[in-house]
Chain A
Amino acid sequence: MTLHFKKETFRDDYTFSNSPEAIRRFPFPFEKDEYMYSVNIEQHMPGPQKSAFEFPIDIDEHYVAEMEDRAKVLAQDPGRCQSLPHMITAEWDLLELLMESMSKHYPEHFQLTRDGDDWRWVNKPLGVDQRFVFGDVSTLPYPPMEYITRQCQGDFALLDQRLDNLWMDAGVITAQADWSLDFDIGMNFMEWHAPVPLAKDMGIFERALKFLMNLQQGRPVRRLNWTMTINPRLDTSPENYDKWGVERTTVTPENVGNKVHLRVELQAMWRLPRSNAIVFSIRAYMIKMEELVTVPKWGRRFHRVLRDVKPELAEYKGLTRYRQMTVDWLSKHDDGAPTSPGFAPD
């Protein structure tokens, strides 16, 4: 599949937008007209052609611009990429997973040639042609996790499994919805999920953790999570709160359609072979309200979801300030007609 990569920004002048094809393949996360937390884990199986689930690692028209944004974040704040020393094997596992998946599914853009441990990686969109020795850190310009994630869309966390828990011992997190790797590094599954309201009392984290402890090689799983972002900013980190927090106050009834974005995270989890670690990928997709309502079912449904979402969730996701204004705007796109079950457009 040949992709055309857009030139766009996720900060300052915010030129990011979705092409009509990108809108059609947007991973809309609501299968009903209401939303509540659940253990929404399913097998990460290939989905329909051209969908965001077609391949295990999804590369799209925003690839080059997202990689430029990541490079900017890392230049300002190297703490967004951290790895404890015992995670080096997992880093190599991740490099292999991403290089294999990208080159297999996008051969026009990425190529991997392996001769034993002598590897050659070609990334045409970013102009990379790198020979290196798998397992030998000194043959790459960055450590393996940082090297490959500077060339792959999505944030990544590497979790070590021990003592019946998962530990966030490495990660590259530059496009997060208000959480911090620097704060969470070394924490376990229950600890880093502590700020989430309601879900704990529903037993969601206990079940999810037990499930993940048994995650098998070759059987990855995924889930969708969502939040909202004002302006198409990828880096909504606590570290930079002063830059984006105020943007929430700039929403007016006139600019809702353009400023307010639904942000969906496609989160996939793989068991890694050599290290027995788990990789958790967080691939963010953003869509502005104007684009969303071009699919009538999505406009209707998101209106109902946002109107009825529990206040605790709205508060946690940081929607409170602009929720009503957005609901009002969306209500003009909801004629009250019934919606069909499932995610897909009608």
Chain B
Amino acid sequence: MSGGVEIPVVVSDIEQATPTVRRFRLTAASGQPLPHFAAGSHVVVMMESGERIIRNAYSLVDRAEDGSSYSIGVLKTRDSRGGSRFMHERVEVGSRLKISMPVNLFPVFAPGRRHLLVAGGIGVTPIYAMADELKRQGADYEIHYAVRDEAHGAFVGELRERHGDRLTLYRSDLSEVLAVREILPGQPFGTHLYVCGPQGMIDAVLEGGREAGWPKEHLHSEHFQAPPSGDPFSARLAKAGITCEVRSDQSLLEALEEAGVDAPFLCRGGACGQCEVAVVDADGELVHNDHYLSEDERSSGRKIMLCVSRLKGRELVLDL
């Protein structure tokens, strides 16, 4: 995720959507329109919290008609040590943040004939954008949304207004249960299901789908799991005799470049093999994030791709 485009934004509006969810409107600081995004995308929000930069992914709920802003919905997680607490407690109207370009790991299946959108809790954020897109296309869709109670359901009013009786709400305070075996039967061939919510709910929905004989290609999910965080470590170049620190928000390649080392690269995405370097010693565990090295090469611990891989540990010594 490092090395990408960073877009400065200003928080222009904050809405307390539920007791635990806030919606933030992020307006481009440059005044230029923000990029369009495909429904289901998220951005990485970068928050400067003292010494450290917190990077959390948040799904894009919408983009203003004129492109001037995006909105995101953030749940304040209990015992948060990081980003969601920062967003709720430190960010106010006028605060400046940076975001990445939109990335989509949860796209609508474009050739799908009918779409079942299933959300639980804060999992509603990408589902909100997907429902809007399907409505715009005049597609056939339904929304199934499970909430604790009406007050804890973020954006329920808006969803009802936009999608009418395509929306079914399940309130656990009324003992209404979102049971996948009641949704699936009778769906025509070519229907796709998308689920986003707590892990338990995703598991149950996917399992229900498989039990009902749905091909796995028709079942899509996104889990709001924090991406593996890169811990800082040091890199020592055995031949050049240089040591540099690799911060958590940069890649090994970027750290070397910052230290003035002219390291080889081509794709910067772990595919081309240009940045392969021999490992002399590693005090810790190599974390290989590339698509280049073979299983054998990885397990040998002798090679690393500078552009995407790192060390979980103290010091990495490279043959450079």
Contact = CB atoms under 8 A, between A and B. Distances in A.
Interface in A137-171: 160-163, 169
A211 interface: yes
A273 B103 CA distance: 9
Interface stretch (A14-22, A36-44, A254-262): A36-44
Interface in B25-40: 35-38, 40
B107 to A, nearest CB: 5
Interface in B255-300: 266-273, 291-292
A273 B101 CA distance: 10
Q: Which of A210, A211, A217 is the most central at the interface, judged by chain B CB atoms within 10 Å of its CB?
A: A217
Contacts of B212: none
Contacts, number: 85
B20 interface: no
Nearest to A272: B38
Nearest to A274: B36
B102 interface: yes
Contacts of A128: none
A39 B273 contact: yes
A51 interface: no
Given A43-B268, A274-B38, A275-B38, A207 B292 contact: yes
Interface residues of A, number: 33
A276 interface: yes
A48 interface: no
Contacts of A169: 111
A214 B1 CA distance: 10
B4 interface: yes
Nearest to A273: B36
B35 A38 contact: no
B110 A86 contact: yes
A86 B103 CA distance: 20
Given A93-B36, A210-B270, A275-B110, 15 more contacts: A40-B272, A41-B267, A41-B269, A41-B272, A89-B110, A161-B107, A162-B110, A206-B291, A207-B273, A217-B35, A218-B4, A218-B5, A221-B267, A273-B102, A274-B37
Interface of A: 38-43, 84-87, 89, 93, 116, 160-163, 169, 206-208, 210-211, 214, 216-219, 221, 273-276
16 contacts: A40-B266, A42-B266, A42-B272, A86-B111, A93-B36, A162-B109, A207-B273, A211-B269, A216-B4, A218-B5, A221-B267, A273-B35, A274-B36, A275-B38, A275-B110, A276-B38
